[in-house]
Amino acid sequence: MDGCVNVGLVGYKFMGKAHSNALKRINMFFDLPAKVGMKVICGRDERWVRESQVKFGWDECSTSWREMVARRDIDAVDITAPSDGHKEIAIAAAGEGKHVFCEKPLALNLADAREILEAAVKAKVRHQIGFNYRFAPAVILARKLIDEGRIGTIYHVRARYLQDWIMDPEFPLVWRLQKSVAGSGSLGDLGAHFIDITRYLTCEFKRVIGHSKTFVGERPIVDNMIGLSGKAAANAPKGKVDVDDATVFLAEFGNGGLGVFEASRFAAGHKNDMSFEVNGSKGSIRFEFERMNELQYFSFEDDEHTQGYKLIQATEPAHPYMGNWWPAGHVLGYENTFVHELYEFLNCVLTGKGASPDFADGVRCSQVIEAVDLSIGRKAWVDVDSL
């Protein structure tokens, strides 16, 4: 790798931008055994990909991800394309011996996710999935408190991921609302994050039962997709929305604890509200992404007269990654989570350590999603391990 670990990125919209920004920041704020080389950015549209190359700071651009993954000077492939492209690109990249980072959800369904994992394992490459919320220092602190036994036996996890960006019925049929491209709706896009976080907080899913709704069944067919959003021509014909707008589900964990989960794109006023609360025998923790630097912690071990949730600013240099950024209290944002996850991935590429969360975590998440989907169809509990 000659002092440089060269990355090829597929995708240039919302996630492509977030990852490009992160790769740049790694060189500035973190110390890896080699510099990150932002070698090639790939995308379908020639003009967009060229503009993105210049704006995001890539050496080259290409409309062919196939050519990019086959290049000898590329060490790692980063996939931020829409979900229907993940499988083909990831398997081809692993087949070329490239280390692979892939955005969530890993694939459109569980069978495809398993194929991706198998290809990466067979090729003996490092693989990581983009569950970026694991990399907020306050979330890492939550896990630390659990590992230290300060929460005790976990009885409940309550998590939600709420947004409101598609509530207008005239909002167009962007790819995230098409099953053939996205795999699923609020459950796969938003629920995937809290499913992973719950597992990260040591609660493994045993069985689930859910219910979902599509509130707006038809939307104007999109002409031009821009990031999350898009434009439809005036009087554009309408197409069917075949994914869930909202999904709720209950879970039982391996340790006997109970989970309550809600993913919705129809929660007016909630912009990017990924929140969780964990209640255990010794205490509780609470986190809200829109206040991502804070963790709330309640402990029964505190003095009886002063017991209550305390607010921790997870910005002291003692908190993970903070020492690389700013002095204490100079808060981090959404984009920093991508810097942390890609730094960890490239560190594993350079040192040979196994990455985390990896494609096996991606498969497990897809397994839970598929179990929830099945339970909705069957109107019955589904054991996750039966899939």
Residues of this chain that bind ligand SOE (CB under 6 A): 14, 163, 189-190, 228, 272
Q: What is the DSSP string of 81-122?
A: S-GGGHHHHHHHHHHTT-EEEEPSSSSSSHHHHHHHHHHHHH
CA distances, 120 to each of 76, 87, 101, 102, 184 (Å)? 12, 11, 11, 11, 24
The least distance separating ligand SOE from the CB of residue 289, rounded to whole angstroms, comes to 8
CB neighbours of 99 closer than 8 A, spacing ≥ 6?
Answer: 75, 76, 77, 125, 126, 127, 345, 348, 349
C-beta closer to ligand SOE: residue 62 or 293: 293
d(CA 336, CA 31): 15
C-beta closer to ligand SOE: residue 163 or 247: 163
The least distance separating ligand SOE from the CB of residue 309, rounded to whole angstroms, comes to 26
d(CA 331, CA 317): 12
The least distance separating ligand SOE from the CB of residue 173, rounded to whole angstroms, comes to 15
The least distance separating ligand SOE from the CB of residue 176, rounded to whole angstroms, comes to 6
The least distance separating ligand SOE from the CB of residue 11, rounded to whole angstroms, comes to 12
The least distance separating ligand SOE from the CB of residue 40, rounded to whole angstroms, comes to 24
Q: At what angle do helices 86-95 and 110-123 cross, to 10 degrees?
A: 10
Q: How many other C-beta atoms lie within 10 A of the C-beta of residue 206?
A: 18
d(CA 295, CA 288): 8
The least distance separating ligand SOE from the CB of residue 101, rounded to whole angstroms, comes to 14
C-beta closer to ligand SOE: residue 187 or 312: 187
d(CA 369, CA 183): 10
The least distance separating ligand SOE from the CB of residue 18, rounded to whole angstroms, comes to 9
Residue nearest to ligand SOE (CB): 189
**φ, ψ of residue 345 in degrees (nearest 5):** -60, -50
C-beta closer to ligand SOE: residue 121 or 228: 228
d(CA 310, CA 136): 19
> Tokens 């809200």, residue?
288
C-beta closer to ligand SOE: residue 68 or 274: 274
The least distance separating ligand SOE from the CB of residue 163, rounded to whole angstroms, comes to 6
C-beta closer to ligand SOE: residue 184 or 296: 184
> Tokens 């391996």, residue?
254
C-beta closer to ligand SOE: residue 53 or 186: 186
d(CA 386, CA 141): 33
d(CA 382, CA 91): 30
Q: How many residues does the chain have?
A: 387
C-beta closer to ligand SOE: residue 150 or 179: 179
